[in-house]
Structure 1
């Protein structure tokens, strides 16, 4: 199996098992997907036939759970300051975990939440409490917290926020982080040069720890460093440029985790994946 798991966030239109087919058609060695509509709180249980088809397709095309990063609903806010909103979000997260377990998957990517003008530290503690409750109710899933761009009242845009959440997780073997390159850049972490990439991930290691890195979202950005505006762009077509992505693929510390494109023009995905995989096969990566 390749050292780098590289793919894109593919559609589940027509059935969740179709996500596997679409990843294979992209010649991807990883993929991300939703398990339901990300703009709905809950969904009907997945039919047993669809579960069987998904697992069968993963076996046929050699995708293990380590190569698949499920993305949770956009509506979930685990730091909601009001009880009703918090409970609804916690129930929705538990539903996401159950769906992952039925699919035989192990990585669930979540957005941490929004403080909604409440105290930020208390929001981070509510997020940690929410994750602890969810992990207690599930058995095999690792929850992977994605850094945010810092828009509005987002928390999780700085490494210190993520470190605070992790600090208060009881079972640290089942918590991780997914770094989105667009979000990191617009929240103030420079990735436009090799040296700045090295500095950014050195900060990540010092503040959080690279052992917690369980996924990457590779996205260029339409907006400048520190703008806190979340607008993805295709690789090399935005403010970051190609250097960061080439550096990430060349660094063995990012082996064996899902590396996922969420770039805007899906017609370029197969070209982007091919380019990234070619970097992994180049002599300096051997």
Structure 2
């Protein structure tokens, strides 16, 4: 495979703005030279949003076709208020309804993924109980909305958030009835913050082998590619620009040449959007 062919199979971009309408995600992605990207499908800090108009849906699909960026190259992310593992029934139902709404939006736009943080037990129930509630919520949502694949993200281990261990991801997946409609997103900053090392070749190989043996690369549907302000096991979710944090450039060089990360959206959420194009160029320069 030539270098150009390799680059074509690496869907690399950033989490771009939808300000002014979801269709603007494509312009914002293309402006930084992305061939994949992340986005929200509504305001991520509000429960409710106006439903899409037919024109909004049509414009989005037309822009997608014109861009050449396919649905499998796009990783939509759900809102920050959603907690599918909440121990409070009323709050969990509110979260589930909001989650279903976001799934419906993904489906309306002709996309296939919805990235979500697993949920939090709020120190009121056990981790095992929370895992069961998360899986139960996803199973319910699957029954309401067709097609959409739920992509569960690993977390940094802050507070009572679930997903900071690969075992959490595995255990949620085990309880999902339709395993064709569930996957995982690896966030590299979260991976390091939660206690998995990535910097050296030995650390990288060990962590990736752990992921394969516990979860399995067959479930990997996306990556959030971020450096980290803090070191291994910090439990702090603080992203940094590529090469500016504690993970180190050697990791990013190794990652960009790892065939296991081909043909899935790789989305930067680094802190300075004014250098996103520069960061993407840097990452692509690492490809052998």
Residue of structure 2 equivalent to 1:227: 234
Query: What is the aligned partner in structure 1 of residue 50 from structure 2?
Result: 44
**4+ long deviations beyond 4 Å:** none
How many Å apart are 1:197 and its aligned residue? Answer: 1.1
The Cα offsets for residues 179-224 of structure 1, whole Å up to 9 and x where unpaired, read as 0000000100001112211111100000011100100001111111
Deviations along 1:229-278, one digit per CA (max 9) or x if unpaired, are 11000011001011222111101111000000000011110011112223
Does residue 120 of structure 2 align to residue 120 of structure 1? Answer: no
Partner of residue 86, structure 1: 92
TM-score by length of 2: 0.96
Task: Give me the whole-angstrom Cα distance separating, in 2, the residues matched to 1:97 and 1:34.
Answer: 11
Instruction: State TM-score, norm by structure 1.
Output: 0.97
Alignment match, 1:109: 115
**1:138 alignment partner, one of 145, 148, 163:** 145
Distance, in Å, in 2 between the alignment partners of 1:29 and 1:278 is: 15
CA RMSD of aligned residues (A): 0.9
Unpaired runs of 5+ residues, structure 2, are: none
Secondary structure of the corresponding residue to residue 286 of structure 2 = helix
Match of 2:102 among 96, 117, 137: 96
Which of 159, 162, 165 aligns to 1:155? It is 162
Could you list the runs of 5+ residues in structure 1 that have no partner in the other structure? none
In the alignment, the residues of structure 2 paired with residue 89 and residue 154 of structure 1 have an alpha-carbon distance, to the nearest angstrom, of 15
Structure 1 SS opposite 2:160: coil
Question: Could you tell me how far apart the structure 1 residues matched to 2:63 and 2:281 are?
Answer: 22
Separation in structure 1 between the aligned mates of residue 55 and residue 249 of structure 2, nearest angstrom: 42
**Separation in 1 of the partners of 2:148 and 2:220?**
15
The correspondence for 2:264, drawn from 249, 257, 266, is: 257
The number of residues matched between the two structures is: 281
Q: How far has the Cα of 1:279 moved from its partner?
A: 2.7
Instruction: Indicate yes or no: 2:61 matched with 1:35.
Output: no
